Structures are given as structure tokens and as C-alpha cells.
Structure 1
Amino acid sequence: MILNRILYFFELVILIPIFPLLYFYGKKLRQKIGKLPPHSEFLALKNKQNTANLLIIGESTAAGVGASRKEKTYAYQIHQLLQEDFSVYNLGKNGLKADRLKRLLVHGKQELPSGFHSAIVLIGANDCFKFTPPSKFRRELKDFFHLLERTYKIGKIIVPSIPPVNQVPALPGIIRFFLGWHRIMLVREINSLLKENKKLVYLPINPKFPKEFFAADGIHPSDHGYQKMAEKVVESIKL
């Protein structure tokens, strides 16, 4: 996308002189915030035989970082909401970027069934934090979606919107500004893929999140946040 290339160029031009300041803030933030443990790096929540299968794969939200326990994670709450209609398989990795999705899937392949009704792909927050070039983000996602379709004959790929990295209360305003700028570009790339792949379903998010959406670290979703996320996506799975 030409517009994204232009926006990314200007983003880099502005970022270069203030990068030392952003690095200082980032280092200070890592020291301040306690690292919350993952609760759902791998989950196999099986129901009766012949039940449709749902795959959830992605970054820290798939890994359940911010939840108080396994039963409050995104995958577990989706399984509860779907009741006995689906078996849910979850692969998550904290800090994951789009270019590592294929590796995560291959690593967990032996634990997965041969086919899936639908897949939920949670990605983009770390690509914002790392300022991944929009064209690279798009290319990695496109390749991963094709891999999913070829390997598991998936009928629907649901892509929830990139988490609101520009709203996290733990970050200073200047960092939130640039994260919001970059997030807009990556969302544009996801929307462009929708025009090429009819199996993709994009889920936009509310423009503003309440404080209780976030966990104690001020970055990841809380139990309440995961509940709201699960309720939102279940509607699309059943369609």
C-alpha cells in the first residue's frame, strides 16, 4: 500500500531523533512492571467426539498473560461460551510477532487435530512495539493464512483487531502516540488482505477501553478484559 509506505517513512524520520528518549522510557517501564506469567501457552479443551475444532493462535493474549488463572484466559472462556459445540485448541507465546506465527504452529502441530472449522489469530501488538514495517507484517500474515488453509482446510479465519496499544495506561503519552500511529498502518494492512481472501473475518474493537479492561501491569487484558474479548468473538464463530 503506497499510503502506508509514505506514513512509515515519515514515522521513521520522526522516530530517529527521539529514539534515545523512547529507549529510556521503554527500559524504565520494563523495570517498573512485573512480568505476569502465561496461563494458556498450550490448551486442548476437548469435547465429545466429532465436535468441530477451533484453533486459537497468537501472542500474549493467546498465552493468557494478565489472567489470574487458566479458567479466566481467552481460550478457556471461549470454550465455556461455546459449551459443547466446539473443542478448542490454543497455542500462545508471549512477545510473538507475525513472522513467528508459522514456527509456533509447526512447534505445536503434533498436539493438534487434522482439521479445524475456524481459527482465531491474535497478532499485531508486538509488531507495533517493534515497529515492524507494514509491508513485512502483511506479507507474513498472508503466508501464515495460506499455511493454515493448506494444512488444516480451515473454513474461516477470524482476526480480532490489534489490541489498543495506544491506550495502555502504563505507557507515557509520547509512546502511546507512536504506537497508535503504527497500529493504524498495520490495521490497514489487515483490511487489505480481507479483499484478497474471502475466508478472513476482521473484528474491529471499541474505540475506548475502561480501566478494568487491563491487568495489574497496565498492558495486558485482565480477567474482565478476556471475558469481553471472548464474548465478542463467539458471535463470529457461530455465524
Structure 2
Amino acid sequence: MLTGRAAQLVLSPVLAAQALQVIRKTPRLPEAAGPRAGSSGTGRPLRLLILGDSSAAGVGAHHQHDALSGRLVQALSGTFSLHWRLIAQTGITTRAIPEMLRNHGRVQFDVAVTALGVNDVTRLVSPKRWSAQTRLVHDILKRDFGVRRIYGTAIPPIEQFPALPNPLAMVLGKHAVAMMARLTADLAQDATVRMVEPKWGFDPTKMARDGFHPGPETYARWGAEMAHHILADLPDATG
């Protein structure tokens, strides 16, 4: 969600006023209830980490079963003996992820699905800095947690979020595009990372009531899309 710092960074008084209005009027939804680790399914073993911000934590869904983690686990359990863990926190930025990971110990995973970037957009983190921070997270996942394949969720079309009025939405949307362009260029030679664009039918009418987070239907499509890529990359993902 937008912060006071983001409003201060926006140069135009009109944009700053809009940002503050969004902060005041947007309802604060809780993270989804339910387990954040478990085992499910039969078949080839796969250790899965889901990592990220409030969208990874399931804000906009009542229970984790209807959030990204639950939908992803459901989609993969028919193929794998899945051992999974969700590490996510509302409001977290990419810069803060390494510290959060250190607090969880060095558990080993095969695959990581990440959802990061929206909080960096609202804080106007520069594309260069965000790319460096994201690549550091990737390096930590591979070096310290044994992750062999990373599926990053590209920043969604933030300019379409119902909670954001124009011109604020347009400014943040353009900044998000610049951030993704820099990261995509920097990851061009990294075969272990796939950035997945939100092409599973992004629909502003299917978002949560805060107009800022996915609703259950969007989480279902998101989880199915991520599972599709993991299954397609099975040899690479599991070694």
C-alpha cells in the first residue's frame, strides 16, 4: 500500500494529494488465514517456496486455500509430493527480503515463486536499484536455500488498480514499466529465472474490495499460470 514516504517523493502537489487520499480511504485488509507450510500430494518430490509481499500473503482472500499459496499447492499436488512454505509479509519491499529470509533459517527448496515489486513502485525505487535488489534476492535463494529455479511474478498493470486515481495511477504505472524493463534486461542471460507476466486475465473487477489486491478468482488464475510454467520446466526445476 502507498506510504507517506511515497507521497513525499512524488513531485507534483496534485499527485501527492492523491496519494494521501488513497492512504486515508483505502481499507486495510488482513492477510489470509490458514497454514503457511505443509505437505500435499503424491509423486515426485518437490520443495516449493512462495515468497513475497501482501499479495503472496493472500490479502484479498479469506483463507490461504483461496490465495496464491493454496491455489499453487492445489495445482501441483496432482503431480508432486509437495513440501511447501509461504514466507510473506504485507508492506515488505524487495530490499527487506534478505533480512526476512535470514529469520527463517536455511531451509532447502527446489523452486521459488516470488511476488515482489508493487511496494517498490509506490516508494518510487529507481529501476536500477530495484533490479539490483531483486537479483540479490535471487542470489540468496540459489546460494543459501538451494533453489534451482525461480518464477518471479512481473509487476501487474498498477495503472489499472481501481484504488488509484489518475494521474497518480498513470505515473506509477509508467514507473512500474521502467522497473520491469530494467530487470528484464538484467536477467536476460539468467536461465534459472523466469519472469511471468500477468497475462492470465487481469481484470480490475475481480480485485479485492480495497481495489489494490487480487480477489480469489485472480489468485486462482495466478496459481494456475505459475503451476503451468513449473510443470513445463520440470526437468530444470528438479534437476
- Counterpart of 1:12 in structure 2 is none
CA contact (8 A) 1:57 1:90 kept: yes
Return the TM-score normalized by structure 1.
Answer: 0.85
CA contact (8 A) 1:41 1:64 kept: no
Matched, 1:23 2:16: yes
Matched, 1:90 2:105: no
Q: Percent identity among equivalent residues?
A: 23
TM superposition shift of 1:162: 0.7
Distance in 1 (CA, whole Å) between partners of 2:15 and 2:210 is: 19
Distance in 1 (CA, whole Å) between partners of 2:56 and 2:34 is: 7
Structure 1: gaps of 5 or more residues: 1-14
- Counterpart of 1:138 in structure 2 is 131
RMSD over aligned Cα atoms: 2.2
SS in structure 2 of the partner of residue 62 of structure 1: coil
Structure 2: gaps of 5 or more residues: 1-9, 233-239
Return the TM-score normalized by structure 2.
Answer: 0.85
How many residues are paired up? Answer: 221
Distance in 1 (CA, whole Å) between partners of 2:76 and 2:216 is: 18
Aligned partner of 2:164 among 168, 171, 184: 171
Aligned partner of 1:181 among 174, 184, 187: 174
Cα 1:211–1:144 change in 2 (3 A) is: closer
Q: What is the identity, as a one-letter code, of the residue corresponding to 2:90?
A: N
Q: What is the identity, as a one-letter code, of the residue corresponding to 1:144?
A: V
Give the structure with the larger helix fraction.
Answer: 1
Q: What is the identity, as a one-letter code, of the residue corresponding to 1:169?
A: P
Distance in 1 (CA, whole Å) between partners of 2:179 and 2:133 is: 12
CA contact (8 A) 1:40 1:92 kept: no
The C-alpha deviation readout for 1:49-97, integer Å capped at 9, x for no partner, is: 9831011101111111111222211101111111251222111111111
TM superposition shift of 1:42: 6.8
CA contact (8 A) 1:38 1:65 kept: yes
CA contact (8 A) 2:48 2:112 kept: yes
Runs of 4+ in 1 over 6 A off after TM superposition: none
Matched, 1:152 2:145: yes
